[in-house]
Homo-oligomer: A and B are copies of this chain.
Amino acid sequence: MKNKLDILKSAALFTGIEPSQLEALLSCLSANVVRYEKGQTVFCSGETIDRFGIVLSGEVQVIQDDYYGNRSILAQIGAGNLFGESFAYAEIKALPVSVIATMESELLFIDCRRLAAPCTKACGFHSRLIQNMLHIVSRKNVSLTQKMEVTSKRTTREKLLAYLSTEAKKAGGNCFSIPFNRQELADYLFVERSAMSAELSKLRDDGVLSVHKNEFELL
């Protein structure tokens, strides 16, 4: 339980909150922790949710499967980050996505109304929390827009280059590693795995990049 609190202390949702007050706050929010195994479903498309999650350890993916079996990965959420909050605060009836654990994970859940509404105990956290939440949701919005900038490209080659460029920029250099295997990367870019693999080879032959497993270098 020690390291979990450390994760929360540095989580964006709790910036500006005194670490010493964190436990009191969590109990005020009646937050609860649940452990998930690899591959388990956290939220299932179609259901209604009024709570959101924070990843304490492990990782979850926000995905969408159509009835042809094509999977689209919309987002990958690591430790300290939130998932489901936009759908909870948008108050939609049917979740258009699913959330799955990609590895053994500990997730903390919080009721979204409990966080937004000023509480009866007159604790002063809520004003700060809702500002943090607005900031987080806004940044997710920007992330989605940037993902669209990548997936709006017409060819697999352009999508790859757009994605790898942003990853390089994020890493602050030409060498970086990506958090996906080939199938996941294809699902993230909305393209075919085999065609993408072939295109990666072509990019390598063209001297644009070098690649070893998930390690990339743009030349």
Contacts and interface: CB of A to CB of B under 8 A. Distances in A.
A137 B141 contact: yes
A152 interface: yes
Contacts of A154: 70, 190
Contact of A149 (B64, B86, B92): B64
Contacts of A72: 148-149, 152
**Counting chain B CB atoms within 10 Å of each CB, which of A70, A127, A134 scores highest?**
A134
A202 interface: no
Contact of A90 (B138, B148, B149): B138
Interface residues of A, number: 40
Interface of A is mostly: helix
Contacts of A114: none
Interface in A82-97: 85-92, 96-97
Contacts of A142: 86-87, 90, 92, 96
Contacts of A116: 131, 134
A70 B142 CA distance: 20
Contacts of A138: 85-90, 137
B151 A90 contact: no
Contact of A134 (B133, B151, B153): B133
Interface of A: 64, 66, 70, 72, 74, 85-92, 96-97, 116, 118, 127, 130-131, 133-135, 137-142, 144-149, 151-154, 190
13 contacts: A64-B148, A72-B149, A72-B152, A86-B141, A87-B138, A116-B131, A127-B127, A130-B131, A130-B134, A137-B141, A141-B141, A144-B148, A151-B152
- Which 8 pairs show the lowest CB-CB distances between chains A and B? A86-B141, A89-B138, A90-B138, A72-B152, A90-B139, A144-B144, A86-B138, A90-B142
